Amino acid sequence: MTGKIGTVGIIGAGQMGGGIAHVAAQAGYKVRLYDISADKIESGLATINGNMARQVSSGKMDEEARKAALANITSTPVLEDLAGVDLVIEAATEDETVKRKIFAQLCPILNPEALLATNTSSISITRLAAQTDRPERFIGIHFMNPVPVMKLVELVRGIATEDTTFETAKHFVASLDKTITVAEDFPAFIVNRILLPMINEAIYTLYEGVGSVEAIDTAMKLGANHPMGPLQLADFIGLDTCLSIMQVLHDGLSDTKYRPCPLLVKYVEAGWLGRKSGRGFYDYR
Ligand code: CAA
């Protein structure tokens, strides 16, 4: 038996949380999108609106479906408004302290039967679950960016995750028309374990002067058929997120091959976080 999901709470209206809200609402779920910042909610909703409008103009969605999907989303800056949802997906900053604080505030609000999922791209599901009151109903549901476009979702069980939680999460993800890959609970799971060292190596290639930003990205786009060059992709993911993932790999696997490139550290210290801050390896201002 798997539980039935009707209403989904999403924590974080950034690029991942907004994208998850988009696909869940499009699949017919009632979505409550929470963010502590009213500005983030506003820009998250504007992005969802814009992306759905693009889907309509390219014939991937009809106008009626767009209206229905948008009507499925309500937003709130009040965490208590997530009371009564069947599933919460946390998509806040990739910072364990931030996530831990959110779970501590959230758990007493939720129905005891509600499932709790995290969209973490690297942090241990077992450790995050242990900080909640429901490790058996806790799971990693890791979407890829941009969520409306990317087909893959990684499902990651913690050591205590019950079979019913896993099956419910699996049905939920399948209902979003995504393909599931099951990953074991190791640092950064599958996609980021492979992708982020490649991006980090591209940054080392720049740092050591092997090639310019344009040369590196062109080389990988035309030489390896990647849809985006690694530096452009790093800007797209967010350099702070890239650094957090490399730190999780470095700390969790204790291998110097995962050492974050000093240039990546410097960019993050400068506040050059990629597209979202207006500057990264490219200038978006
Ligand atoms: N949100 C929603 N839809 C978007 C979008 C966004 N941010 N960006 C592009 N799209 C849609 C476009 O509307 C377009 O849809 P239609 O076909 O319906 O018109 C489609 O995607 C293709 O877009 P474009 O023609 O504008 O551009 P493109 O062909 O260059 O594709 C891309 C853009 C899909 C982002 C492509 O460059 C790509 O696949 N890049 C790599 C993305 C990637 O590797 N993602 C994984 C990141 S790692 C991750 O997410 C894990 C993590 O934890 C960090």
Task: Find out whether 247 and 262 touch, Cβ atoms under 8 Å.
Answer: no
Question: Where residue 4 falls among pLDDT bands split at 50, 70, 90?
Answer: confident
Sign of the torsion formed by the C-alpha atoms of 228, 234, 235 and 238:
positive
pLDDT in tens, 92-104: 999 999 999 999 9
* DSSP symbol at 14: S
**Cα 127 to chain center, whole Å?**
18
The residue type found at 66 is R
Q: Distances from the Cα of 43 to the Cαs of 125, 132, 245, 269, in angstroms?
A: 29, 30, 25, 25
CA angle in degrees (0–180, nearest 5) for 125-126-130: 115
Closest to 27 (Cα-Cα) out of 64, 68, 63:
68
pLDDT in tens, 57-84: 999 999 999 999 999 999 999 999 999 9
CA distance 29 to 128: 26
pLDDT in tens, 18-28: 999 999 999 99
279 forms beta bridges with 274, 283
Tokens of 118: 């995290």
How far is the first Cα of the chain from the last one, in angstroms, to the nearest whole number?
51
How confident is the model over 167-189, as a mean pLDDT?
97
> Does the C-beta of 123 come closer than 6 Å to ligand 1?
no
The pLDDT value recorded for residue 1 is 40
Supply the DSSP string of 109-161, one letter for each residue.
Answer: TS-TT-EEEE--SSS-HHHHHHTSS-GGGEEEEEE-SSTTT--EEEEEE-TT-
CA distance 125 to 139: 7
Question: Where residue 3 falls among pLDDT bands split at 50, 70, 90?
Answer: low
Give the DSSP H/E element, type plus range, for residue 230. helix 230-237
Tokens of 106: 């959230």
Q: Give the closest residue (by CA) to ligand 1 atom 5.
A: 146
List, in sequence order, every beta strand (DSSP E) within 56-96: 73-76, 87-90
Please tell me the distance between residue 145's alpha carbon and the centre of ligand 1 in angstroms.
Answer: 7
Please tell me the distance between residue 146's alpha carbon and the centre of ligand 1 in angstroms.
Answer: 5
**Cα 37 to chain center, whole Å?**
18
pLDDT in tens, 203-222: 999 999 999 999 999 999 99
Tokens of 233: 């992709």
- Is 145 part of any known ligand binding site? yes
pTM for this one?
0.95
**Cα 238 to chain center, whole Å?**
11
Out of 16, 89, 95, 149, give the residue to mutate to test ligand 1, the one with the largest number of ligand atoms within 8 Å of its CB.
149
CA distance 254 to 199: 19
pLDDT in tens, 260-283: 999 999 999 999 999 999 999 999
CA distance 244 to 260: 9
Task: Quote the percentage of the chain above a pLDDT of 70.
Answer: 99
Closest to 197 (Cα-Cα) out of 125, 153, 261:
261
